[in-house]
Amino acid sequence: MLAWFIFWIAAIVAIGGQIPLIVAAWRLYRHPAPAPANVPRSDGRADLGWTLVTALATLALFGAAYLALP
């Protein structure tokens, strides 16, 4: 019971936490902030892609943890 409770709390925070990260990556993709002249501009699509990959990997981790719940 405790394991399930902890799992769902952790899952809500960790997976729910991906939303603001994706939103931030999307915002920086659509409206990149001006950077100093000698700093290379990030590829917004690649940044968004990395963010989505991280979110999916986190989802997969929690999926595996769900299967391993006692």
Partner 1 sequence: MAARKRVQILLLGLILTLATIISGGLVTISASAAACSSWPLCLEALSDSANPLVWISLGHRAIVALALLAVIGGVWAVWRSPETAGLPRWMALAAAIIFLSQALAGALLVWGVPAMVADVWHLTGALLAFGAQVLTFILIAIPAPATVERLSGRAAQTQRRLRGLAVWTAAAAGVAALAIGARSVAPELEMAVALPANSVGALSFAAFLSLWMAVEARRRLPVEAQTSALALALPRYSPLLPGLAALALIGWFIPAGGHLLSLTAAALLWAGAIAAAVAIQRAPLTFATATTTPATRPVSKWRMVVADYISLTKPKVISLLLVTTLTTMFITEAGLPSWWLVLWTMIGGYLAAGGAGAINCAFDSDIDVNMGRTSRRPVPSGRISARAAFVFGAILSVLSIVVLWVFTTPLAAFFAFLGIIYYAYFYTSLLKRSTWQNIIIGGGAGAIPPLVGWTAVTGSVSLMAVVLFAIIFYWTPPHFWALALVKQKDYARAGVPMLPVVAGEVETRWQILVYSAIMVAVSLLPVAIGAMSWIYLVGALVFGLRFMRDAWAVWRIGDQAAIWGLYKYSLLYLALLFVVMVADRLILR
- Residue 67 to residue 70: CA distance in whole angstroms: 9
**What amino acid occupies position 38?**
N
Q: Which of 26, 29, 51, 59 binds partner 1 (CB under 8 A)?
A: 51
* Cβ-proximal residues to 66 (8 Å cutoff; 6+ apart), any chain: 7, 11
Task: Give which of 18, 28, 27 is closest to 53, Cα–Cα.
Answer: 18
One character per residue 2-41, x = contact with partner 1 (rule: CB under 8 A): xxx-xx-xxxxxx--xx-xx--x---x---xx-xx-xxxx
Chain residues binding partner 1 by CB under 8 A are 2-4, 6-7, 9-14, 17-18, 20-21, 24, 28, 32-33, 35-36, 38-43, 46-47, 50-51, 54, 58, 61-62, 64-65, 68-70
